[in-house]
């Protein structure tokens, strides 16, 4: 009886602690890739709304913006020595890894929440790469996961920016999602988490797509929809240019 | 000036591609080759996915062989019958090559297959050319003429069944070794994105004694049609042909080839073969370091499936 009452009281307290809500907006819902595409920026604006019943916080708010690109299967291969040769002999398969991850926050995640809480909320690059699976005979090895994150960071596809969220007022924030030129095409999910003193208070989600536009879209569509014609056109273009060269540079 | 390539799906500098096309075109024009074995590694080096690189630059080889085919046609330096026989084998080989390419890509071993094939193929062709060129270079210095085969002498493969007469080249050989050669070159061409002229020309000269005056023009018949065929087959089966990439490379190469051809006319025969052999060996060595030298980064990441 007493335990139930305690649980109820805790539940109420937890309910009160989640009184904040987030209102968020993205500067764009669709990013077209045109021939001059060399990257893009999507701005996130958000406001932490409090109602009258919200308790005053001793600590300031923390905000984490998590951006996940389209998920896909990834193979991490390791070269090792085989006689005189270095060959890809070992590999691990990771299913449903986001092709792009960007973690923007107002301060380092480590100082914001405990590792258990970060794992639970899936905050940070490591929490977003699912343990690889599919086959039991492929044990997970931390060096493969580490290599995946390291290589993707090097390509600018996994980004962690602990100064990426800027508070304009104590409850109003903005962040800039920077997409590289080689940004993968597809659907991007944007999740915003608000924490205070290591406790999650509210979340909100939105998303945008990156798609080919203009000439790029038409070329890509032609290559998929009429592949024979597309191949023939490419070959004829080449033969035509080769023929033009014999006319232009004719040595008489 | 960055330009987004629609199939390779990355932005790349237009001037880089035009420059690469011109440089490879120059060397190709100088030696009378398509230069595919130089272009594919360069494209991979600047970050184009190997599959897209191989499939797209087949078009560039088609353009350069069109130019040289027309020039040889005007000078009547083509054995049409021999060219058509080689072409038939080339088309079969090309079809097998595209199928092999697609399978290797499916099991995720395409990159390794391309690297190892480059080492083996270019290494063996380059080294044997280098030895041959050095020997003839030394002979020329000492003023000794090369040993020649006498009229009645024939290699064993020339006497196999299905013999055919090629009056323009003045040879009478079995179709069996010719077919094997052309199927092999068509296959290698589709897998590695090369025309194969640097294998075909020496093979026709040394194995079948096709006269030097018709050998380049004749091999161009096979190269042009197999590359046109490979472009269409790659586009139709694996969607890896990037039209914009092919266009930029072709424009660069077409101009570069003209200047290369002029430079090539000033080269002496022995120097010519020695330089070409060194060039082929250098590319083979570059690929060999990939598999022989301990890599600084042992891991690599490949996306195998994407949900869009």
Output the pLDDT for position A2.
52
Cα A237 to chain centroid distance, Å, stands at: 39
| Domain extents in chain B | 10-141+156-290
The pLDDT of residue A173 is above 90:
yes
**Residue B232 pLDDT:** 93
Sheet containing strand A71-82, edge to edge, reads A85-98, A71-82, B299-306
> What is the average per-residue pLDDT within B143-162?
64
- To 10 degrees, what angle do helices B175-192 and B80-106 make? 40
A-proximal residues of B, 119-158, CB under 8 Å: none
- Smallest Cβ–Cβ distance between A151 and the set B4, B236, B301 belongs to B301
Banded model confidence at residue A11, pLDDT cuts 50, 70, 90: very low
CA distance A235 to B62: 7
Q: Are A62 and A99 in contact (CB under 8 A)?
A: no
Q: So what's the pLDDT on residue B306?
A: 65
Q: How far is Cα A121 from Cα A114, in angstroms, rounded to an integer? A: 11
B41-79 burial, b at 16+ Cβ within 10 Å, e below that, comes to bbbbeeebbbbbbbbbbbbbbbbbbbbbbbbbeeeebbb
User: Distance between CA atoms of B277 and B123, rounded to whole angstroms?
Assistant: 10
Average pLDDT over chain A, rounded to an integer: 84
Domain interval for residue A251:
213-252
The mean per-residue pLDDT over the stretch A163-182 comes to 92
Residue A10: pLDDT over 50 = no
Whether B148 has a pLDDT exceeding 80, the answer reads no
Is there a contact between B273 and B129 (Cβ–Cβ < 8 Å)? yes
A25 touches chain B (CB under 8 A): no
pLDDT confidence band for B33 (50 / 70 / 90): confident
Are A186 and A225 in a shared domain?
no
Those of residues 207-226 in A touching chain B at CB distance below 8 A are 212, 215-217, 219-220, 222-224
Q: What is the mean predicted confidence (pLDDT) over B75-84?
A: 87
Domain match, A140 and A251 both: no
Q: How far apart are CA B64 and CA B87, in angstroms?
A: 17
The verdict on A163 and A241 lying in the same domain is no
Residues of chain A with C-beta less than 8 angstroms from the C-beta of B290: 86
| Residue of chain B with shortest Cα separation from A76 | B301
Domain identity same for A78 and A123: yes
10 Å Cβ neighbour count for A162?
Answer: 16
The answer to whether residues A7 and A109 belong to one domain is: yes
**Cα(B181)–Cα(B226) distance, integer angstroms:** 14
Task: For residue A251, name the pLDDT band (cuts at 50, 70, 90).
Answer: low
Please give the span between the terminal C-alpha atoms of chain A, in angstroms, as a whole number: 107
B251 touches chain A (CB under 8 A): yes
pLDDT digits (tens, 9 = 90+) for A30-42: 999 888 888 899 9
Mean pLDDT of B119-133: 87
| pLDDT greater at residue A100 or residue A129 | A100
Assign B146 a pLDDT band (cuts: 50, 70, 90): low
Q: Please indicate, yes or no, whether residues A115 and A223 belong to a single structural domain of this protein.
A: no
Q: Model ipTM? A: 0.83
A184 in the same domain as A102: yes
Helix or strand or coil: residue B277? helix
Show residues of chain A in contact with B224, CB under 8 Å: 239
Looking at the fold, whether A67 and A120 belong to one and the same domain comes out as yes
On the CB side of A30, CA atoms within 13 Å amount to 5
Q: Which of residues 60-119 of A touch B (CB under 8 A)?
A: 70-81, 84-88, 91, 93, 99
pTM of the model: 0.79
Is residue B107 over pLDDT 80? no
Q: Does residue B92 register a pLDDT over 60?
A: yes
Interface test with B, best of A33, A231, A232, A252 (most B CBs within 10 A): A231
Q: What percent of chain B has pLDDT over 70?
A: 94
Q: What is the mean pLDDT of residues A80-100?
A: 83
Residues 126-165 of A with CB under 8 A from B: 143-144, 147-148, 150-152
Please tell me whether residues A246 and A191 are part of one structural domain.
no
pLDDT-based confidence at residue B218 (cuts at 50, 70, 90): confident
My answer on whether A140 and A198 are in the same domain is yes
Report whether pLDDT(A135) > 70. Answer: no
Query: Is residue A173 domain-shared with residue A232, that is, in the same domain?
Result: no
> Which of A67, A96, A95 is closest to A159 using CA atoms?
A67
Number of domains, chain A: 2
Nearest CB to A36: which of B2, B64, B300?
B2
Question: Of the candidates B55, B68, B26, which has an alpha carbon nearest to the alpha carbon of residue B222?
Answer: B68
pLDDT recorded at residue A75? 85
Instruction: List the single best residue of A89, A142, A234, A249 to mutate versus B (max B Cβ within 10 A).
Output: A234
**Does B6 sit within 8 Å of A216, measured CB to CB?**
yes
pLDDT tens digits, one per residue of B295-304: 888 888 877 7
Alpha-carbon gap: A244 to the closest alpha carbon of chain B (Å)? 8
Q: In terms of domains, do A191 and A219 share one?
A: no
- Alpha carbons A136 and A16: distance in angstroms, whole number: 44
Q: A12 pLDDT exceeds 60?
A: no
Task: Take residue A162 and report the two structure tokens written for it.
Answer: 């602990």
Q: Strands A199-212 and A30-33, how do they pair? A: parallel
Binning pLDDT at 50, 70 and 90, where does residue A26 land? very high
- pLDDT band for B231, please (50, 70, 90 cuts): very high
Distance from CA of A199 to the nearest CA of B (A): 34
> What is the predicted pLDDT for the residue at B6?
87
Give residue A1's pLDDT. 47
Q: What CATH number does residue A202 fall under?
A: 2.60.40.3880
A85: nearest CB among B233, B292, B299: B292
Distance CA B72, CA B49 (A): 35
**Of all helices (H) and strands (E), which one includes residue A240?**
helix A227-248
Q: What is the pLDDT of residue A240?
A: 95
Query: Helical H runs in B164-268?
Result: 175-192, 197-208, 212-238, 243-264
Which residues pair with residue A99 across a beta bridge? none
Structure tokens at A224: 């998929």
């Amino acid at each position: 009886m007493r335990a139930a009452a305690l649980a109820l009281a805790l539940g109420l307290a937890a309910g009160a602690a989640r009184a904040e809500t987030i209102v968020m907006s993205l500067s764009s819902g669709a990013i077209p890739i045109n021939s001059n595409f060399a990257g893009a920026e999507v701005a996130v604006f958000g406001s932490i709304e409090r109602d009258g019943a919200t308790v005053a916080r001793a600590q300031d708010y923390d905000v984490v913006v998590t951006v996940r690109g389209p998920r896909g299967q990834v193979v991490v291969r390791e070269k090792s020595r085989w006689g005189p040769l270095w060959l890809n002999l070992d590999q691990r398969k990771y299913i449903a890894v986001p092709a792009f991850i960007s973690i923007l926050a107002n301060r380092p995640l480590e100082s914001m929440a405990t590792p258990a809480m970060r794992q639970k909320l899936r905050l940070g690059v490591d929490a977003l790469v699912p343990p690889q699976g599919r086959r039991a005979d492929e044990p997970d090895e931390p060096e493969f996961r580490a290599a995946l994150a390291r290589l993707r960071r090097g390509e600018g596809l996994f980004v962690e920016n602990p100064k990426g969220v800027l508070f304009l007022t104590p409850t109003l924030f903005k962040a800039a999602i920077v997409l590289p030129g080689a940004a993968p095409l597809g659907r991007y999910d944007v999740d915003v988490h608000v924490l205070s003193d290591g406790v999650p208070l509210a979340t909100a989600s939105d998303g945008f797509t990156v798609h080919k536009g203009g000439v790029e879209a038409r070329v890509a569509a032609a290559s998929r929809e009429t592949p024979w014609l597309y191949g023939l056109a490419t070959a004829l273009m080449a033969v035509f240019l080769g023929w033009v060269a014999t006319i232009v540079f004719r040595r008489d | 000036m960055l330009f987004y390539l629609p199939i390779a799906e990355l932005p790349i500098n237009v001037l880089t591609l035009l420059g690469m096309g011109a440089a490879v075109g120059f060397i190709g024009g100088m030696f009378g080759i398509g230069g595919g074995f130089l272009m594919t590694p360069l494209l991979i080096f600047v970050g184009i996915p190997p599959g897209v690189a191989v499939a797209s630059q087949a078009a560039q080889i088609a353009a350069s062989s069109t130019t040289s085919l027309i020039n040889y046609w005007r000078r009547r330096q083509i054995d049409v019958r021999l060219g058509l026989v080689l072409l038939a084998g080339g088309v079969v080989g090309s079809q097998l090559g595209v199928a092999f390419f697609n399978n290797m890509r499916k099991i995720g071993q395409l990159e390794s297959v391309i690297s190892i094939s480059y080492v083996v193929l270019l290494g063996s062709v380059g080294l044997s050319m280098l030895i041959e060129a050095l020997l003839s270079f030394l002979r020329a210095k000492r003023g000794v003429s090369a040993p020649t085969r006498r009229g009645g002498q024939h290699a064993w493969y020339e006497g196999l069944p299905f013999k055919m007469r090629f009056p323009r080249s003045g040879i009478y050989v079995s179709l069996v070794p010719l077919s094997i050669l052309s199927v092999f070159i068509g296959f290698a061409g589709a897998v590695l994105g090369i025309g194969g002229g640097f294998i075909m020309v020496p093979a026709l000269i040394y194995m079948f004694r096709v006269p030097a005056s018709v050998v380049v023009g004749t091999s161009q018949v096979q190269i042009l049609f197999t590359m046109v065929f490979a472009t269409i087959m790659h586009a139709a089966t694996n969607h890896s042909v990037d039209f914009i990439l092919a266009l930029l490379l072709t424009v660069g190469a077409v101009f570069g080839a003209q200047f290369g051809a002029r430079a090539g006319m000033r080269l002496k025969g022995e120097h010519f073969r020695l330089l070409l052999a060194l060039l082929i060996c250098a590319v083979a060595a570059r690929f060999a370091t990939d598999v022989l030298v301990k890599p600084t980064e042992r891991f690599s990441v490949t996306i195998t499936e994407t949900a869009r």
